[in-house]
Structure 1
């Protein structure tokens, strides 16, 4: 346990205690984090290597995988290092960076999910116009838009959070710097900022969610008009994995940001944050790989090429 701390540094109390049970839980988290990094890296490589995956949907999916890697890399290494070395202090700069990255990734993910729902809508409802409505330029604009929307807002939130005077203990009951956990330590009236932050988070979630609902309402209407079983199967295959990811994202986000303050618990918040930052990126890569025949085909092709190269090298 770290005994000394500068007056400006914060102390992350972490997710686990130094017991055998918590050590086993840390091993599970690290295993999931490594699986997330490997799964999302593999997804990026497959999308880059296989020309059949050079489509708008997989371009958006590559951005999704990139965000998962960034989220895991931002939180898990410091958490593990703090547990193993006992050095739990974090500077205000690093703390602000963690807040900014976690906020911008959550905001960008919501808008990216909205863009992916639009892609599903075009694929199901306007398949003949798909190359025009989802051209490369449109995809690039969506990607840039998802990166830029809310960036200024998240930066203001991160800077404002660190500008409050904090009590001398500076102990954050969390495993990474998250705005709601840090604001609780402020020795000042933060009610106005909390209300503004709450409204911003709700808007960042509800605006994309309304676009997702609109897209899937139109998809549902189109599916109900279909008479072909094959068309229904293709529509389900196109949308099912995305719907599963939307459910995971909004379930965790609503629990973290949209609960009344009286119902919040630090222990519950840490568990849900761990689920969102570690387990969700792993599940996302599994969902898009196991439920997607094209990704499985690309993986089999890549594995076959690797085996062929190994056999050729052995013969030489």
Structure 2
């Protein structure tokens, strides 16, 4: 039976989606500064890369990032089991199986959204992963692919993984069209079907179900939770406008204190982290590229982005660049 971690279940009220080339450890450090509660995910890592690649580079994370989950891609039960065991040894309490990514790469490798067509194989994979580790094994999927009828395919898929012992699932409320649409188009073109996902939550009451896709604000997340969803996952909006999504998440969704009153405070709190990264030979832009959207909608946001975009990648760029960018932002007046 799948090991269930209550702390992760609570954190999963709001999660930031795994996003390739975006949700690396520096991005997660920023997001954790903004919200102490939200569940964070790594970029997807293939099981083969975990087994044969540079594990420290691929899997290492800072304790301050917790709660953080590892997302794996693959379709070979034995290989996924070994990768899950390795991930667990690095400290991940959750290992998530990607059954939703629509890229050409995942189709050729027989993982990602194409696995929606093979629920029995997915069940075999999660059983093998559960047998190999005490980490909680979860699944992220679509509502269907290509010509599948989501009203048939999704419950069949959820039934299969439920029988295999999965207790927590994230459903991206769009079909994936593996033929005819690019990965980028698959994020926007297929219509969202929130009502279907809400019905699936009613049909599978024992599954902790998170909804994903097209969610852009905390208000929208709160509405979906009120309609019966257990969790809400936000992707691009959390990346491009991290303060708007995460800066007030702790108080609104968990009733705990928010870490900062203003995004300027979060920037200052990131400086020791960045200083340590630079001292270890890192580059400024490796961190600040994830911070460009912190002041979205605020006076000075354009100058903030311009200074960081133009200067943070220069050799020797340091905290002086970040301070100069921050000085271009108009400081919010203190609350009365």
User: Rg bigger for which structure?
Assistant: 1
TM-score bucket (shorter structure): under 0.3
Larger RCO, structures 1/2 (Cα 8 Å, 6+ apart)? 1
Q: TM-score, normalised by structure 2?
A: 0.22
Q: TM-score, normalised by structure 1?
A: 0.23
